[in-house]
Amino acid sequence: MHRYNEDTTGKVRIDYLHKVQKVYENRIDFLKDDIAHNKDPKEVAKVEKELEKMMKQLKECKDYDEKIGHIALSRIGIDVDDGVKVNYQKVQTDNKGERYKILAKM
């Protein structure tokens, strides 16, 4: 919390979350191509299982991105003197007062 500022959430979103999404998208494209060009049914089943897992992970990232996007645009500041619990709530509430569960429960 001592290093947190108004730009931290946006930085996490752009510098980390979007990069992870791109990795998942590239892997999904590769797996789809592998399925289309593979003739071994056993290998295709294995790749399809991994593809399903990657698609679930990508969906989870996109859902999280939607939540964290509202918070990032709000550019919420904190006061370290308020304590962790108060700041935890501040960081998860946008300018309109809507609360998003983007952090793990304390």
Kindly report, residue by residue over 27-86, the tens digit of the pLDDT.
999 999 999 999 999 999 999 999 999 999 999 999 999 888 878 887 877 777 777 777
Residue 55 inside a domain? The answer is yes
Residue 56 inside a domain? The answer is yes
Q: Name the β-bridge partners of 99.
A: 93
Range of 73's domain? 8-91
Q: What is the pLDDT of residue 66?
A: 87
Residue 104 inside a domain? The answer is no
CA dist., res. 31 & res. 7, Å (int): 35
The residue among 14 and 84 whose pLDDT is bigger is 14
Residue 106 inside a domain? The answer is no
pTM of the model: 0.77
Q: What is the pLDDT of residue 106?
A: 62
> Closest Cα to residue 8, out of 71, 58, 65, 50?
71
11 pLDDT higher than 70:
yes
Q: What is the pLDDT of residue 72?
A: 82
Residue 87 inside a domain? The answer is yes
How many structural domains does the chain have? 1
